[in-house]
Every structure is written in C-alpha cells, then in structure tokens.
Structure 1
Amino acid sequence: MPKVRHASIQWGTWSSGGYTLYNNIWADGTTYEIMLWMNKTGPVGPLGSFQTAATVGGHSWNVYSGSNGANQVFSFVRTGNTDAGTVDIRAVLNWIRSRGWYGDVTLSTIQFGYEITSASGGRDFVTNSYSASAG
C-alpha cells in the first residue's frame, strides 16, 4: 500500500485556452497511470471511456479508463474546477483496487503538471505550492 497519503496543490487558472491541471500518479513502474484532473478548460478530454461517477479522495469525479498502448490509464476528472485542493491519494488507489481494476500495486511516482492544448497569446502557468505527505 502506498505510503504517500495526500497531495496538496495551489495554482493560477485562466478562463480561456485548452488545458488541464492534474496530479499524475504512477503505480507498478509505468504499468498504471492515474490522472487526477483538478481543473479542465477548453477542448481537452481524458483517454478512454466513461466508467462511473465517484466521490473519493475528498472530491467528486467522473472516472474514465483506457489504454494508451503502453499502460492502463485511469482518469479522474473533477466534476467542478478548482484552483487549490488536497487529494487523498491512498483513498483513490484503494478505490481503483476495490473495483478490481488492478490488484496490489506499488506506488512509483507522484507528479503535478499541466497539459496545454491551446493558449492563444500564451499563458503563464504558475504553481504556487505543491506538497505530498505520508500518513
């Protein structure tokens, strides 16, 4: 079971362009990619097909599952955008396991990032704070 419990993030947001801000969690090396989409704007969408709506890890999500050809991807798209938040990563990973989508896994990496699909005139994507804590 993963030792990292929470990831806390705060960032700036914009009302135009196409982008997503997310936590990216890798389990069992790069076998499983779990994307926690905290803010989604414009014509960007998750990989795979819609599976279910869920409230887990302190947020309400629309959950998608698919493969990019190299690994299995689970995308948790928050039902409402936010510019800050704390996510219980352990709860999300346990929820995936409870659905039978994978067995026991080892947490490999936690990342925070931006996927930018369009930014007319450019944007300054700034992360104000980020932390991950064990517990």
Structure 2
Amino acid sequence: MLSKSALFLLPLFLSSSLASPTPLDIEARASVDTSSHCGQWDTVTAGPYTLFLDLWGESGASSGSQCSNVVSLSGSTIAWKTTWTWTGGSGVKSFSNIQLNNGINKQLSAISSIPTTWKWSQTSSGTIVADVAYDLFTSNSAGGSNVNEIMIWLANYNAGPISSTYNSAGQPVPAASGISLAGHTWNLYSGSNGANNVFSFLPTSGTITSFSGDLKPFFDYLVQHEGVSSSQYLVTAQAGTEPTSGSATLTTSSYSLAIN
C-alpha cells in the first residue's frame, strides 16, 4: 500500500511523465507559423516547404480575397488550408500552394523518384471555376528560366487546361489519351502560356482526393513521347489550387513530396 505522501505525489508524477513535451517537440511547434495570411505575396516557411499565397491575378477580379495557413508539420508531412472567394474576370486569380525547397535543381536524368502523397477535401458555395494540381517547372540550367511547365491535375472544377488545339465547341483537345501513370488514367494536353511550354495531365474521369504515387514517370513519359530533354533541370515543385471564380475552402489533411 502506498503511503499518504506517495499518494499525494503520484498525480504529479503521472502528469509530468505523460504530458511533458521534449525540448525538440517544443522547438518544432514553435517553429511553425500556423496563423492565417492573406497578403498578395505572403510566404510561410515550414520545414522543407514554403507556403506561397501567390495572388498573382487578383487585379483581374472585381472583388475577392484568398487566405491560407499551415495547419501542422510532422517530419516531411504538412497540412494546410486555403479559403478563397473571387468575383469578376475570366482569368486565374491566384495559386496558393506548397512548394518543396529541398532536392530541386536536379537534372531529370539524375532523379530516381519523386514520391508524393496528397489527401485533401474541398467545400464550395455555388458554381466555382478552379483546379487542384501539382505544378512543376523545368529549365535548361539549375535555377534558370522556365522552359516547360508540367501540371498534374487532381481536380477540374469547370476550368480547362492550356491546349494548342480546340474543337468546334471550344473544348481543348488532348494530345494523348488513356495514359496509365501512378495508378490512374490521364489525358495529356499541351500548349503554350506565351512564356513556356505547358503539359497538363488530367484524370480521364472524376476527382482524385487521395493521391499516392511517384511523379517521375510523368516526366519519363514527356521525355519519351513529347520531346522534353532529360538534361532539363527540375527547378520548381509546387502543389495547390488555381481559382478563377466562386468561393471555396481547400483543406489538405496530409501532403508530402520528395525528390530523390
């Protein structure tokens, strides 16, 4: 049987042994800014990533805003959220995104894999025009100007990819169809945004809210079939949403990306 003094001290011992965070836990929590940011070019660094507000097209809207925040960071897995509402104009208003800062500026031929996971959900009000996508850029040199933009869309909400060919109804025509990569089937669209080539992989049907796979085969496909050189450097690797109009909240519960 425990003495009265031992009984008195037991709750204190259990509380301190079960609840006390380590110095590393305290440092990790304190180092992540989870506050909401709404400025046009606001950024938040969190471990190997940077959250970019990137409201690059907001001047094309008659009204609207977009705010984003990091929710949590655990190792190389990040959670984040962005809420937007845009009215007016026909162009993309923003690309709030998570950018990977580690492992970039490698030649495609030197990359063995680009493993990633992305679990997300979205709530919206009324009709929206937007996409949810990975956005990656290659260049002729490390840190050089963009030559190719590679987009991997997980969702298409009444938007459309850049294409060099459109049908009589004004719809983009894929350059290739029925491509099996990373456990899904895609249509590839290609065109130019006026500054660089754009290659967009879109799911042949539906929306992918839980994606897990390797992005390297997408680059391998472009090297083999679309004339992209394996000597190109991967200079930017981002993932986020491009809204044009409407109101929605995108919540990413789990996201990770690495370049090996």
Q: From 215, 220, 240, give the equivalent of 1:94.
A: 220
CA distance in 2, matches of 1:57, 1:108: 22
**Kept after mapping to 2: 8 A contact 1:10/1:128:** yes
CA distance in 2, matches of 1:5, 1:90: 5
CA distance in 2, matches of 1:99, 1:134: 22
CA distance in 1, matches of 2:160, 2:119: 21
**Kept after mapping to 2: 8 A contact 1:8/1:85:** yes
Match of 1:84 in 2: 210
CA distance in 1, matches of 2:157, 2:136: 21
Match of 1:39 in 2: 155
Residues 74-115 of structure 1, C-alpha deviations (whole Å, 9 max, x = no match): 000112211110232110000100014211122112100101
**Kept after mapping to 1: 8 A contact 2:152/2:202:** yes
CA distance in 2, matches of 1:90, 1:10: 19
Match of 1:27 in 2: 138
Superposed CA RMSD in Å reads 1.7
Percent identical pairs in the alignment equals: 30
SS at match of 1:69: coil
**Kept after mapping to 2: 8 A contact 1:61/1:77:** yes
Alignment of 1:108-123 (within 5 A): 108-119=235-246, 122-123=247-248
**Kept after mapping to 1: 8 A contact 2:129/2:245:** yes
Task: Give the direction of change, closer, same or farther, for the CA distance of 1:26–1:4 in structure 2 (3 Å limit).
Answer: farther
The normalised TM-score by structure 1 is: 0.87
Greater than 4 Å deviation, 4+ residue runs:
none
Residues 1-33 of structure 1, C-alpha deviations (whole Å, 9 max, x = no match): 235522211111247412110001111141110
Task: Give the direction of change, closer, same or farther, for the CA distance of 1:100–1:46 in structure 2 (3 Å limit).
Answer: closer
Task: Give the direction of change, closer, same or farther, for the CA distance of 1:117–1:100 in structure 2 (3 Å limit).
Answer: closer
Task: State the one-letter code of the partner of 2:162.
Answer: L
The normalised TM-score by structure 2 is: 0.47
Counterpart check, 1:13 vs 2:122: yes
Residues 56-77 of structure 1, C-alpha deviations (whole Å, 9 max, x = no match): 2332111000011100000001
CA distance in 2, matches of 1:111, 1:63: 19
* Bigger radius of gyration among the two: 2
Match of 2:175 in 1: 51
Give how far 1:34 is off: 0.3
CA distance in 1, matches of 2:250, 2:226: 36
Structure with greater proportional strand content: 1
CA distance in 1, matches of 2:152, 2:226: 19
The number of residues matched between the two structures is: 132
